[in-house]
C-alpha cells in the first residue's frame, strides 16, 4: 500500500526526512533536514513523484508503475472501467467496495481511496474493505484496471459511513448568572459529531436535567447564592457522547432567611441575654445581624448592629423589673435585611414599689370592719402578684404604729377586700395593705378603721379621780 500526501488527481509524494543539528555556541544551534524519495519515486522540484514506465501523457501515474486513465479520457484512448461498482457502509468506521470482472480480462485492479488519506492499492480481487474510517463521513473510491489492451478509465462511487456517538463534547460552553434563581447556558456543537445531533443534554452537578435541540437554554429554580456546576453532552441516534468540562457559576445574592433558635433570657431586672443560630438559607454572605429591643410600656427602642460571626448578645435595658419587651433579630446580606424573628419577655421580677391604690375602710359593726382596695397595675407590681398582705392593730392615739408591730394576714390575689373581726367596740384600728410578688412584699398603705358609733350602747362614767376618767358601756335594754 502506497501512501499519498496530495489529492487524488495530483502527483503523489513519498519521501523520508532526515533531521540533524550542529551545536555552534551556547546561544546558537544549526538544524538541517534532508528529504530522500522512497523507492519508485524521483524528485520533481520539491516533491517526490512516482515513476511509471511507458505511461502516455494522457494517463495518470498514480503510483510506481500504476498508470490509469482519468474518468474524462476519450473512449478510443481507454477502455470502459469496471462495472457495477458498489460502495457499501458496513459500519460507522467501515466501507466495502466491490465490482464485476471485465469481460476482456484484467491483469490487475487499482483501488484508489480518497478520504483523510489517499492511497492506491493494487489487487486481483473483486472487492476490498476499508477500516478505521471516520463515522458519518463521505468517502470517494475509484477502481481502474490494467487489461491486455491497456489501462481502463476510472470508475468511482461515493458513500457516507454510518453514524456513531459524538467523539467529543460540545464546545465553547458559556454559563452566565441572570438573577438570584436563574442562569443562561450556551454552547457550540462538537468538532466531530459523528452524525446528526438530535439533542443536547444539560447536566447540573452531574445530574441530567434537560434535553434541548438548540444551542442554548435558560435554567431557573435555583437557590440564591448557589454554586451551579454545568456541563453539556451531545447525542446522535446511536447514543450520547462525552460531557463537556464543567463550568461553575454562582447565582446572585438576595436577602437572607430568618435566624434560627432565637432565645431571650432575663439575667436580671435590667439585662437581657439574646442568642440565635444563623439562617438555614443565608442567600449570600451574611454581613451582620439587626437586633431591636422594644419596651412595650413606653414603646422606646434599642437598636444593635451585631457582627456576622457573633450569635449572642447581652442587652442592658436599664429601666426596672418586670418590664415587657419585644426582641426582634434579622440577618442581613449586602442586598438587604431579611425576615424577622421575635420573642416577648419580661425582665426579672421585683417587689412592688407602690401599695394597692384607693384603700378604704368601713366599721360595719361594733366588732367587725373591712378594708377594700383597687387592683394594682403592672407598673406598680413589677412582677407576678402572689398575694395581698394584710395587717391591723388597735390604736388609741389615732396614729398608725410602725408596720413591724402589726398582726399579719394573707389574702389571695382574686380578692380586693378583707373583713376584720373581733374588734373592740371602743377602739380604732389601723389597717395596712401591701402586694406580694415572688421577690418580696411591697410598701404598705395605712388606713384607720374608725370608732364604732351606735345607739345600741349606753356609755356611763364608772370612775373618776384627779388623773383619769374610766368610761364603760353596755347594750341598751
User: pLDDT tens across 135-159, in order?
Assistant: 999 998 888 887 777 777 888 899 9
Where does the pLDDT of residue 224 fall: very low under 50, low under 70, confident under 90, or very high at 90 and above? very high
Which stretches does DSSP call E strand in 92-170?
Answer: 94-100, 106-114, 118-123, 127-130, 138-147, 150-151, 155-160
Cell of 274: 439574646
**Residue ranges in 220-371 assigned as alpha helix (H):** none
pLDDT > 70 in the chain, percent: 80
Question: Which pLDDT score is estimated for 9?
Answer: 36
**Which DSSP category does 152 fall into?**
B
**Is pLDDT of 10 > 90?**
no
For 425-430, what is the mean pLDDT? Answer: 83
pLDDT tens sequence across 443-475: 888 888 887 766 565 556 566 666 676 666 565
- Cα–Cα nearest to 142, from 162, 158, 130: 158
Dihedral sign of CA atoms 146, 148, 152, 158 in order: negative
Q: Which residue is associated with the grid cell 463550568?
A: 247
Question: Which pLDDT score is estimated for 135?
Answer: 94
Q: Output the furthest CA–CA distance in the chain (Å, rounded).
A: 185
Is pTM beyond 0.75 here?
A: no
Cell of 383: 412582677
Question: Of 62-66, 233-237, 308-312, where does mean pLDDT reach its minimum?
Answer: 62-66
Taking a C-beta distance cutoff of 8 angstroms, is the pair 318, 272 a contact?
Answer: no
Question: Residues near 339 by Cβ (< 8 Å), separated by ≥ 6?
Answer: 255, 256, 257, 258, 330
**Is pLDDT of 12 > 60?**
no
Domains contained in the chain, CATH given: 2-160 (2.60.40.10), 171-250 (2.60.40.10), 260-346 (2.60.40.10), 360-449 (2.60.40.10)
Question: Which pLDDT score is estimated for 20?
Answer: 60
Cell of 82: 469496471
Return the number of other C-beta atoms located less than 10 Å from residue 198's C-beta.
13
Mean pLDDT of the chain, nearest integer? 83
Question: Which pLDDT score is estimated for 471?
Answer: 60
Top-confidence residue, 14 or 362: 362
Taking a C-beta distance cutoff of 8 angstroms, is the pair 333, 284 a contact?
Answer: yes
Where does the pLDDT of residue 195 fall: very low under 50, low under 70, confident under 90, or very high at 90 and above? very high
Cα radius of gyration rounded to whole Å, the chain = 56
For 51-77, what is the mean pLDDT? Answer: 70
Rounded Cα gap, residues 403 and 65, in angstroms: 140
Question: Which pLDDT score is estimated for 103?
Answer: 67
The per-residue DSSP string of 159-225 comes to EEPPP-S-SS--EEEEEEE-SSS-EEEEEE--S--SS---EEEEEETTEEEEEESSSEEEE--PPTT
**Is pLDDT of 100 > 60?**
yes
Backbone angles phi, psi at 321, to 5 degrees: -75, 155
Residue 342 β-bridge partners: 328
Question: Which pLDDT score is estimated for 6?
Answer: 35
- Cα–Cα nearest to 451, from 471, 476, 435, 434: 471
Specify whether the backbone of 318 is left (phi greater than 0), alpha (psi in -120 to 50) or beta.
Answer: left
Cell of 404: 413591724
Residue 431 β-bridge partners: 392, 447
Question: Which pLDDT score is estimated for 275?
Answer: 97
For 232-255, what is the mean pLDDT? Answer: 97
pLDDT tens sequence across 348-379: 888 888 899 988 888 888 888 899 999 988 87
Top-confidence residue, 94 or 396: 94
**Which DSSP category does 378 fall into?**
H
Cα–Cα distances in angstroms (integers) from residue 72 to residues 9, 77, 117, 302, 434, in the given order: 12, 10, 23, 100, 129
Q: Which residue is associated with the grid cell 351606735?
A: 454
Top-confidence residue, 40 or 182: 182
For 274-299, what is the mean pLDDT? Answer: 95
Question: Of 82-91, 238-247, 313-322, 383-392, where does mean pLDDT reach its minimum?
Answer: 313-322
Residue 183 β-bridge partners: 177, 219
Rounded Cα gap, residues 133 and 115, in angstroms: 8
**Is pLDDT of 440 > 80?**
yes
pLDDT > 90 in the chain, percent: 40
Taking a C-beta distance cutoff of 8 angstroms, is the pair 361, 447 a contact?
Answer: yes
Taking a C-beta distance cutoff of 8 angstroms, is the pair 325, 295 a contact?
Answer: yes
For 205-221, what is the mean pLDDT? Answer: 95
Where does the pLDDT of residue 222 fall: very low under 50, low under 70, confident under 90, or very high at 90 and above? very high
For 378-404, what is the mean pLDDT? Answer: 78
Amino acid at each position: 500500500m502506497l501512501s499519498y500526501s496530495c489529492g487524488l488527481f495530483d502527483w503523489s509524494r513519498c519521501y523520508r526526512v532526515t533531521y540533524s543539528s550542529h551545536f555552534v555556541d551556547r546561544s546558537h544551534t544549526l538544524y538541517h533536514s534532508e528529504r530522500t524519495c522512497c523507492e519508485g519515486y524521483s524528485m520533481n522540484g520539491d516533491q517526490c513523484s512516482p515513476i511509471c514506465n511507458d505511461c502516455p501523457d494522457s494517463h495518470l501515474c498514480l503510483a510506481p508503475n500504476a498508470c490509469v486513465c482519468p474518468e474524462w479520457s476519450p473512449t478510443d484512448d481507454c477502455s470502459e472501467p469496471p462495472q457495477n461498482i458498489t460502495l457499501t457502509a458496513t459500519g460507522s468506521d467501515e466501507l466495502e467496495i466491490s465490482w464485476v470482472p471485465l469481460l476482456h480480462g484484467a491483469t490487475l485492479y487499482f483501488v484508489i481511496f480518497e478520504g483523510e488519506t489517499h492511497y492506491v492499492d493494487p489487487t486481483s480481487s473483486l472487492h476490498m474493505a476499508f477500516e478505521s474510517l471516520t463515522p458519518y463521513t463521505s468517502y470517494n473510491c475509484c477502481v481502474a484496471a490494467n487489461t491486455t489492451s491497456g489501462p481502463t478509465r476510472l470508475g468511482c462511487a461515493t458513500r457516507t459511513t454510518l453514524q456513531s456517538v459524538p467523539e467529543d463534547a460540545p464546545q465553547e460552553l458559556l454559563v452566565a448568572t441572570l438573577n438570584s434563581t436563574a442562569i443562561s447556558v450556551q454552547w457550540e456543537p462538537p468538532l466531530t459529531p459523528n452524525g446528526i445531533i438530535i439533542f443536547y443534554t444539560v447536566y447540573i452537578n452531574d445530574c441530567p436535567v434537560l434535553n434541548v435541540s438548540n444551542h442554548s437554554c435558560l435554567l431557573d429554580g435555583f437557590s440564591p447564592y448557589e454554586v451551579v456546576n454545568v456541563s453539556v453532552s451531545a447525542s446522535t441516534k446511536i447514543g450520547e457522547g462525552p460531557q463537556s468540562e464543567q463550568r461553575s457559576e454562582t447565582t446572585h445574592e438576595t436577602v437572607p432567611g430568618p435566624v434560627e433558635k432565637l432565645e431571650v433570657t432575663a439575667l436580671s431586672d435590667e439585662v437581657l441575654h439574646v442568642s440565635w443560630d444563623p439562617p438555614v438559607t443565608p442567600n449570600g454572605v451574611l454581613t451582620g445581624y439587626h437586633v431591636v429591643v422594644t419596651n412595650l410600656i413606653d414603646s422606646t427602642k434599642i437598636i444593635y448592629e451585631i457582627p456576622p460571626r457573633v450569635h449572642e448578645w447581652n442587652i442592658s435595658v436599664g429601666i426596672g423589673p418586670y418590664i415587657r419587651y419585644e426582641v426582634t433579630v434579622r440577618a442581613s446580606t449586602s442586598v438587604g435585611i431579611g425576615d424577622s424573628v421575635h420573642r416577648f419577655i419580661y425582665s426579672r421580677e421585683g417587689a412592688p414599689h407602690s401599695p394597692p391604690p384607693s384603700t378604704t375602710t368601713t366599721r360595719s359593726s361594733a366588732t367587725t370592719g373591712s378594708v377594700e382596695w383597687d387592683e394594682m397595675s403592672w407598673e406598680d407590681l413589677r412582677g407576678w402578684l402572689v398575694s395581698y398582705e394584710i395587717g391591723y392593730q388597735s390604736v388609741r392615739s389615732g396614729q398608725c404604729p410602725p408596720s413591724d408591730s402589726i398582726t399579719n394576714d394573707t389574702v389571695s390575689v382574686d380578692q380586693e377586700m378583707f373583713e376584720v373581726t373581733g374588734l373592740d367596740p371602743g377602739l380604732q384600728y389601723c389597717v395596712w395593705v401591701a402586694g406580694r410578688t415572688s421577690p418580696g412584699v411591697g410598701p404598705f398603705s395605712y388606713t384607720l378603721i374608725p370608732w364604732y358609733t351606735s345607739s345600741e350602747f349606753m356609755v356611763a362614767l364608772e370612775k373618776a379621780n384627779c388623773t383619769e376618767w374610766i368610761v364603760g358601756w353596755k347594750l341598751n335594754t
